[in-house]
Structure 1
């Protein structure tokens, strides 16, 4: 009779070891949250600081020049927290509000921010098992820069949701601090255009497009949206060019796909 510690035993032990290894690997592939991931996400966001700081400085300075109070300026940055919408909102900002101007600013900012629906949807597989409160915080703090950092990490096999929240949280703090500095600097900059601060927004978004480049074909909707926006802006007064460019880009993307 064979010994219970014969050839079969190592095979069984090996099988159990392999199964344990597979379970351990699967657990690391599941979305999870850790403080170490939070800290690492904050470090990954450092390269985005210059763009965020310049954008927020420009907004703070422009808000001061527009006549907004410090509370109104910080409130926009803290609760709206959408640089492009904040800049567009300043263009429409009125000292005396009417129903038509309120409707205009709601419509324009909604169109500018509609992209966040798509960015948030791409995070659903990552956040679906997260606590609702933390998911809501992640989605509130979502920006293009944080999204790029996190999705790149996710595409490389990472599953720590702390990366998403850590990068988002540090960028939020930087945004508020730079807005505050920009507001006080605005008192010393009588004409922001003289220093090229009005170019911060287009330059920032142009740079943000670089990591998203995946070839000519996927970039065609960007080109169509840009051209349509320029044409409509030249022909039609107001802010219709924003909606026209967005819709043209969506239609072009659907036709290409």
Structure 2
């Protein structure tokens, strides 16, 4: 029995290590744009302790950027909560896409390991699963590394915020955009993705123009997923 447990623990450790190694380039980027968020948070009056709590309890970069942007007196807790809720609705799609990775695992394990899902380690895990197959511990290992990198960046930027008053002057604000552009291209599987991607882009652009807040993220994501679902359904019907 002890031998079986040892083998299982070794397998978990190996998966976490592989996940962490696969996310090293993204972790370096996370430190950079995390530093930008840290600088912005200091200028908004967010304390080091508040930023630490935000990192651990929320751990959602885009939502944290929105939250910090809205951080001003008097702080409207309801408005902030609604904005964060809307921008994090994309995790419904992310969670659904991870179903094959979590297949066979208990609900409590899914809830525990999913807390450290970020856009970056999600994209790396999905790409790895398509190539070689993987498990939730690969995802979790990448999440732990990203949490450490993100915390180093945000907390360092928060502490140095008074010295860097214009992060855009050094193009640090572009790091966030560059990372997500690279992640998007890594998920491209060929021309069959063209129509769903085009639908998501068009819906997101139109929604951003006519709707307030961050609804364009949800609408673009859901719309693209629905188009992909319809295409897959029609393909199966032809068989």
Q: TM-score w.r.t. structure 1 length?
A: 0.74
Task: Find the aligned partners of 1:215 and 1:156 in 2 and give their Cα distance.
Answer: 15
Contact 1:44–1:149, Cα closer than 8 Å, also in 2: yes
Matches within 5 A, 1:18-33: 33=11
Contact 2:199–2:220, Cα closer than 8 Å, also in 1: yes
Contact 1:225–1:245, Cα closer than 8 Å, also in 2: no
Cα distance per residue 1:184-229 (max 9 Å; x no partner): 2222111223223333332222222111113355344544554555
The 1:105–1:222 alpha-carbon spacing in structure 2 relative to 1, beyond 3 Å, is farther
Partner of 1:153: 128
User: Which has the greater radius of gyration?
Assistant: 1
Contact 2:203–2:223, Cα closer than 8 Å, also in 1: no
Q: Alpha-carbon deviation of 1:88?
A: 1.3
Q: Alpha-carbon deviation of 1:105?
A: 2.1
Partner of 1:196: 171
Partner of 2:12: 34
Q: 2:215 aligns with which of 227, 230, 243?
A: 243
Contact 2:196–2:225, Cα closer than 8 Å, also in 1: yes
Task: Find the aligned partners of 1:188 and 1:226 in 2 and give their Cα distance.
Answer: 38
SS at match of 1:104: helix
The 1:249–1:174 alpha-carbon spacing in structure 2 relative to 1, beyond 3 Å, is closer
Matches within 5 A, 1:32-111: 33-98=11-76, 102-111=77-86
**RMSD in angstroms over aligned alpha carbons?**
2.7
The 1:51–1:235 alpha-carbon spacing in structure 2 relative to 1, beyond 3 Å, is same
User: 2:145 matched to 1:170?
Assistant: yes
Partner of 1:205: 180
Task: Find the aligned partners of 1:133 and 1:245 in 2 and give their Cα distance.
Answer: 28
Structure 1 residues without counterparts, runs of 5 or longer:
1-31
Partner of 2:226: 254
Partner of 1:129: 104
Task: Find the aligned partners of 1:105 and 1:96 in 2 and give their Cα distance.
Answer: 12
Contact 1:57–1:179, Cα closer than 8 Å, also in 2: yes
Task: Find the aligned partners of 2:61 and 2:204 in 1 and give their Cα distance.
Answer: 19
